[in-house]
Amino acid sequence: MNTGRGVLGGSGTQTSALAFGGGIFPPVAASAATESWNGTSWTSTNNMNSARTSLNGAGASNTSASAFGGYTPSYSALTESWNGTSWTVAATLGTARGQSTQSGIGTGSNALCATGWVPPGSTLTEEYNKSTTVITPAAWSSGGNLNTGRSHGAGAGAENSALYFGGSTGGAAHVTSTEEYNGSSWTAGGGLNSARRYMAGFGTQTSAVAAGGFNPTPAFGVDTVEVYNGSAWTTATSMPNAKFIAIGFGVSTAGVIYGGQGPGPTTYDTTIEYNGSTWTSTGNFPVSIANGGAAGTEAAGLGFGGTSPGLTGVTAKYNGSTWTASNPLNIARDFHRGGGIQTSAYAVSGANPSFPSAPTTTETYDGTSWITTASPAISRPNGQAAATNTANNTTGLIFSGPSNSVATEEYVGETTALNIKTFTTS
């Protein structure tokens, strides 16, 4: 080869290959060099846009390839596409990583990235596709700030009509604050009658339910339920058991709460439904769970992740009476947030000490499995945020967070559009 290096990327066949990137030692220096192989000799050609080591590549020949991931010296999610002459920046990986599978699986327009170093290591697999469809990647962007900074409250509603209520400003300082979001700014609503955090919340901006929760007096959970009518909270029928960090979804007249904890360290697998006036027990979740996420409706719900008592990515579908297991989250976590519907949901934030990226990793669910997607800018671990729980995985909202954050971020999912030209033959 013309440039000696290690941990580089490669693609192609024995008679038509491409080598790119890598590290030159010593000293340690990332390379952007690209060389083309014709079956006999190597020819230096145009460099990559980003010098990287420990990257991966895929491609069928020296005229069509893709390069992804690597180390720059931070872990990279960058993808570049090779057309036989030059490199072009393409769609990024969902999870930045290096030292992923070095098999060169795929072609220049279709590739597979499996495992890799995140750190400490990843089991994630991502697929890359390039076609006549133009894909606009999912993204998070800043929204309007909350008026009252706090954490561990509950959310309801949709991205352009969200509700945030309760929470804590630290220690025993619990609040009753309620705020409404119109898609750009937050305004104050009627306060809860009972200050608490770790509630199960569900419903819409004008008809929401706040159930259970935690307040140091009494400790380890309450059975209190309040209903919001768009301006004020009213005390409603209590839950059958006192609990906190339970998970809720649905609307105020057809809502579901599953799992939870308390009094004491006990976690539950029980599920209860609310019809607007009374609570009824129904089918149990597959495992005892707390601190999980949820999406959907009473007739078609979804539960995912949590503490059981260890971290889990367990995912199950609810049909109005029973739960059925589905494929788990890629990153097991608890205290995360989510929303959407049963066949189009999202999970974001949370905590997993083994995966430092968990507080910013977003996953979307298509009714069968989870994939990673764009990450929000702010790390929000340990239940320090709330999110909307209706709509679908193409829009979302997350708000509040560590240090009594007032930050709000809005999510727009991946979109596609046709990019087809007319070809003629002769």
pLDDT per position as a tens digit, 164-222: 999 999 877 899 999 999 999 999 999 999 999 999 999 999 999 999 998 876 667 89
Q: Are 58 and 90 in contact (CB under 8 A)?
A: no
CA distance 103 to 355: 25
pLDDT at residue 134 in the model: 74
End-to-end CA distance of the chain: 42
The 10s digit of each residue's pLDDT in 242-280 is 999 999 999 999 999 999 998 777 899 999 999 999 999
Q: Are 155 and 389 in contact (CB under 8 A)?
A: yes
Q: Tokens 């959907």 appear where? A: 296
Mean pLDDT within 215-232: 87
pLDDT at residue 422 in the model: 66
**CA separation, residue 360 to residues 161, 197, 303, 401 (Å):** 23, 22, 20, 12
> What's the chain's length in residues?
426
Q: Which domains does the chain have, with CATH numbers?
A: 9-130 (2.120.10.80), 140-412 (2.120.10.80)
Strand ranges for 182-300 from DSSP E:
186-188, 200-204, 207-211, 225-228, 233-235, 247-251, 254-258, 271-274, 279-282, 293-296
Which of 75-79, 108-112, 178-182, 281-285 is least confident?
108-112
Mean pLDDT within 399-423: 84
CA distance 63 to 285: 52
The 10s digit of each residue's pLDDT in 2-42 is 999 999 999 999 999 999 999 988 777 899 999 999 999 99
Q: Which has the closest alpha carbon to 185: 220, 224, 146?
A: 146
CA distance 162 to 182: 7
Q: Are 214 and 197 in contact (CB under 8 A)?
A: yes
Q: Are 379 and 359 in contact (CB under 8 A)?
A: yes
Q: Are 350 and 337 in contact (CB under 8 A)?
A: yes
Percent of the chain clearing pLDDT 90 (strictly above): 63
pLDDT range class, residue 98, cuts 50, 70, 90:
confident
Mean pLDDT within 143-162: 93
pLDDT at residue 252 in the model: 96
> pLDDT at residue 103 above 70?
no
Q: Tokens 């000799």 appear where? A: 41
pLDDT at residue 215 in the model: 83
